[in-house]
Amino acid sequence: MLIGEYSHTIDAKGRINFPAKLRESLGGNFIITRGLDHCLYAYSLEEWENLTESIKSLPRSKRRNMERFFFAGAIEAQPDKQGRIIVSQNLREYASLEKNVVVVGASDRVEIWDQQAWQQSFEECTPEAIEEIMDELGF
Protein backbone atom coordinates (compact mmCIF):
# COMPACT_ATOMS: atom_id res chain seq x y z
CA MET A 1 0.00 0.00 0.00
CA LEU A 2 1.29 3.40 -0.96
CA ILE A 3 0.95 5.95 1.84
CA GLY A 4 2.51 9.20 3.02
CA GLU A 5 2.97 12.81 1.95
CA TYR A 6 6.36 14.18 0.90
CA SER A 7 7.36 17.69 -0.15
CA HIS A 8 10.08 18.10 -2.76
CA THR A 9 11.25 20.50 -5.44
CA ILE A 10 11.53 19.94 -9.14
CA ASP A 11 14.71 21.19 -10.78
CA ALA A 12 15.17 22.96 -14.12
CA LYS A 13 15.72 19.60 -15.86
CA GLY A 14 12.38 18.26 -14.59
CA ARG A 15 13.87 15.97 -11.96
CA ILE A 16 12.16 15.16 -8.65
CA ASN A 17 13.80 13.36 -5.77
CA PHE A 18 11.24 10.57 -5.47
CA PRO A 19 10.66 9.32 -1.87
CA ALA A 20 12.53 6.09 -1.12
CA LYS A 21 9.56 4.39 0.56
CA LEU A 22 7.39 4.98 -2.46
CA ARG A 23 10.15 3.92 -4.90
CA GLU A 24 10.48 0.63 -3.03
CA SER A 25 6.74 -0.02 -3.23
CA LEU A 26 6.46 0.90 -6.92
CA GLY A 27 9.45 -1.17 -7.97
CA GLY A 28 12.53 -0.38 -10.05
CA ASN A 29 10.61 1.08 -12.97
CA PHE A 30 7.12 2.54 -12.89
CA ILE A 31 4.70 4.44 -15.08
CA ILE A 32 3.84 8.13 -14.72
CA THR A 33 0.81 9.52 -16.52
CA ARG A 34 -1.86 12.21 -16.37
CA GLY A 35 -4.15 11.94 -13.39
CA LEU A 36 -7.44 13.48 -12.45
CA ASP A 37 -7.58 16.94 -10.86
CA HIS A 38 -4.51 18.03 -12.89
CA CYS A 39 -2.02 15.97 -10.90
CA LEU A 40 0.11 13.06 -12.12
CA TYR A 41 -0.37 9.40 -11.25
CA ALA A 42 2.48 6.93 -10.82
CA TYR A 43 1.70 3.22 -11.03
CA SER A 44 3.78 0.11 -10.45
CA LEU A 45 4.07 -1.98 -13.60
CA GLU A 46 1.61 -4.46 -12.07
CA GLU A 47 -1.00 -1.79 -11.30
CA TRP A 48 -0.45 -0.27 -14.75
CA GLU A 49 -1.25 -3.65 -16.28
CA ASN A 50 -4.42 -3.84 -14.14
CA LEU A 51 -5.47 -0.37 -15.34
CA THR A 52 -4.72 -1.34 -18.95
CA GLU A 53 -6.85 -4.47 -18.71
CA SER A 54 -9.72 -2.54 -17.10
CA ILE A 55 -9.66 0.04 -19.88
CA LYS A 56 -9.53 -2.67 -22.55
CA SER A 57 -12.72 -4.17 -21.11
CA LEU A 58 -14.69 -0.97 -21.81
CA PRO A 59 -16.80 -0.55 -24.94
CA ARG A 60 -14.75 1.07 -27.71
CA SER A 61 -16.79 4.29 -27.51
CA LYS A 62 -15.66 4.83 -23.89
CA ARG A 63 -12.25 3.23 -24.25
CA ARG A 64 -10.87 5.66 -26.83
CA ASN A 65 -10.84 8.70 -24.55
CA MET A 66 -9.53 6.72 -21.59
CA GLU A 67 -6.69 5.34 -23.70
CA ARG A 68 -5.80 8.78 -25.01
CA PHE A 69 -5.91 10.35 -21.57
CA PHE A 70 -3.83 7.76 -19.73
CA PHE A 71 -1.55 6.30 -22.42
CA ALA A 72 -0.67 9.16 -24.78
CA GLY A 73 1.47 11.09 -22.32
CA ALA A 74 2.60 8.19 -20.15
CA ILE A 75 6.29 7.64 -19.49
CA GLU A 76 8.26 4.87 -17.86
CA ALA A 77 10.28 6.28 -14.97
CA GLN A 78 13.50 4.76 -13.72
CA PRO A 79 15.02 6.48 -10.69
CA ASP A 80 18.72 7.36 -10.95
CA LYS A 81 21.28 6.53 -8.25
CA GLN A 82 20.18 9.57 -6.21
CA GLY A 83 16.52 8.48 -6.40
CA ARG A 84 15.52 11.19 -8.85
CA ILE A 85 13.08 10.71 -11.69
CA ILE A 86 12.66 12.86 -14.78
CA VAL A 87 9.14 14.06 -15.51
CA SER A 88 8.56 14.92 -19.17
CA GLN A 89 7.78 18.49 -20.17
CA ASN A 90 4.23 17.66 -21.31
CA LEU A 91 3.40 16.02 -17.97
CA ARG A 92 4.95 18.91 -16.02
CA GLU A 93 2.81 21.34 -18.01
CA TYR A 94 -0.35 19.27 -17.50
CA ALA A 95 0.12 19.27 -13.71
CA SER A 96 1.58 22.83 -13.55
CA LEU A 97 4.74 21.49 -11.87
CA GLU A 98 7.26 24.30 -11.66
CA LYS A 99 9.12 24.30 -8.33
CA ASN A 100 7.45 22.93 -5.19
CA VAL A 101 5.73 19.58 -5.50
CA VAL A 102 4.01 17.16 -3.16
CA VAL A 103 4.31 13.41 -3.71
CA VAL A 104 1.43 11.52 -2.10
CA GLY A 105 0.84 7.82 -1.57
CA ALA A 106 -2.79 7.10 -2.53
CA SER A 107 -3.31 3.37 -1.88
CA ASP A 108 -2.67 1.76 -5.31
CA ARG A 109 -0.91 4.74 -6.92
CA VAL A 110 1.25 7.75 -6.17
CA GLU A 111 0.06 11.25 -6.98
CA ILE A 112 2.40 14.12 -7.88
CA TRP A 113 0.95 17.57 -7.27
CA ASP A 114 1.95 21.18 -7.57
CA GLN A 115 2.17 22.24 -3.91
CA GLN A 116 -0.46 25.00 -4.16
CA ALA A 117 -2.88 22.77 -6.08
CA TRP A 118 -2.41 20.04 -3.43
CA GLN A 119 -3.17 22.48 -0.61
CA GLN A 120 -6.30 23.71 -2.39
CA SER A 121 -7.50 20.18 -3.13
CA PHE A 122 -6.84 19.09 0.44
CA GLU A 123 -8.76 22.07 1.85
CA GLU A 124 -11.76 21.12 -0.29
CA CYS A 125 -11.80 17.72 1.41
CA THR A 126 -13.83 18.71 4.47
CA PRO A 127 -14.35 16.58 7.58
CA GLU A 128 -18.08 16.60 6.82
CA ALA A 129 -17.53 15.15 3.36
CA ILE A 130 -15.26 12.45 4.78
CA GLU A 131 -17.78 11.66 7.51
CA GLU A 132 -20.52 11.19 4.92
CA ILE A 133 -18.38 8.76 2.93
CA MET A 134 -17.36 6.88 6.10
CA ASP A 135 -21.05 6.48 6.94
CA GLU A 136 -21.63 4.98 3.48
CA LEU A 137 -18.79 2.54 4.11
CA GLY A 138 -20.14 1.61 7.54
CA PHE A 139 -17.30 3.12 9.61
Residue 124: predicted pLDDT: 81
The answer to whether the CB of 91 falls within 8 A of the CB of 34 is yes
pLDDT beyond 90 at 5? yes
pLDDT beyond 90 at 52? yes
| pTM for the model | 0.92
Inter-axis angle of helices 45-56 and 60-71, to 10 degrees? 150
Where residue 49 falls among pLDDT bands split at 50, 70, 90?
Answer: very high
The contacts of residue 70 (CB under 8 Å, 6+ apart) are 33, 34, 51, 55
What is the spatial distance between Cα 119 and Cα 41, in angstroms, rounded to a whole number? 17
Q: Which domains does the chain have, with CATH numbers?
A: 5-137 (3.40.1550.20)
pLDDT beyond 90 at 21? yes
Average pLDDT, the chain: 94
What is the spatial distance between Cα 73 and Cα 68, in angstroms, rounded to a whole number? 8
pLDDT beyond 90 at 136? no
